[in-house]
Structure 1
Amino acid sequence: MPRYMLQSLALILALMFSATSIADGTANQDERRMHAIRIIIGERIINATLEDTPSSRDFIAQLPLSIDLEDYSSTEKIAYLPRKLATTDAPSGVDPDIGDITYYAPWGNLAIFYRDFGYSRGLIKLGRITAGLEHLSYIGSKPVKIELAPVG
């Protein structure tokens, strides 16, 4: 194979590996922007990740929290926070999915959806449950602890 073809092939392979490394680095940066939390209900643990937004960072600043999660409308568990969260750069509302952790700005409460719900003005997505959603199937109100998940 002529030398110029080998050099071209080497350049192409180098660019491919470089692009892969850049893509992998970007994915790792996105993962680092997420904050892992856990919601503890008695002996049961719900794992979740929070997005890196002003509202989520303000929520994290209040952790650890001991609050009561109560059922609301057989659709979500809600709890009032010690203080309202920042809403800087937040959308005017969201259409939450099952497992979304949100903040309802007009009332100043946390809302964790365990059933489908439509678009709601004033609702801000904070993050998402990654495991343990089934632990929200209780009736009534229960005390919970919300904390940053241990690293490692």
Structure 2
Amino acid sequence: MNIRLTIDGHQVEATLNGSATARDLAELLPIALEMEDFHETERIAYPPRELDTSGAPAASNPKAGDLAYYAPWGNLALFYRDGDHSPNLVILGRLADPADIDLLAGAERIRIEAAS
């Protein structure tokens, strides 16, 4: 599924994968979230409910540009730097253009919606 992220007024394109967790996130769209920094690696925010993680891998190795869901805390994560191997982290998708990754580092507010 193609999605559009509006990051502090800048629109960027991304794609969600076919996982159950990504499909569950898609059901919440459009959604606007306040972001905060986590470990100078990712921006995180909390959707209005926990997402379905059935069939998710036990762990993931996030890369800059990944959109992910951290099941234990119930937060979305947008990685602007490569992250460490992380149990219970589900990769949901990826930004389409690597040049947009720099926008994530300072993101205060994000809106995610389906792209046509």
Runs of 4+ off more than 2 Å: none
Equivalents in 2 of 1:118, 1:71: separation in Å? 16
Equivalents in 1 of 2:34, 2:47: separation in Å? 10
Question: Could you state the TM-score of these two structures normalised by the residue count of structure 2?
Answer: 0.93
Question: Could you state the TM-score of these two structures normalised by the residue count of structure 1?
Answer: 0.72
Q: Does 1:137 align with 2:115?
A: no
Q: Does 1:53 align with 2:14?
A: no
Structure 1 counterpart of 2:28: 62
Structure 1 unaligned segments of length 5 or more: list them: 1-34
SS of residue paired to 1:90: coil
More strand by share: 2
Structure 2 counterpart of 1:87: 53
Structure 2 unaligned segments of length 5 or more: list them: none
Structure 2 counterpart of 1:21: none
Q: Which has the higher contact order (CA 8 A, sep 6+)?
A: 2
Provide the identity percentage.
42
Structure with max Cα Rg: 1
SS of residue paired to 1:117: coil
Over aligned residue pairs, what C-alpha RMSD do you find? 1.1
SS of residue paired to 1:118: coil
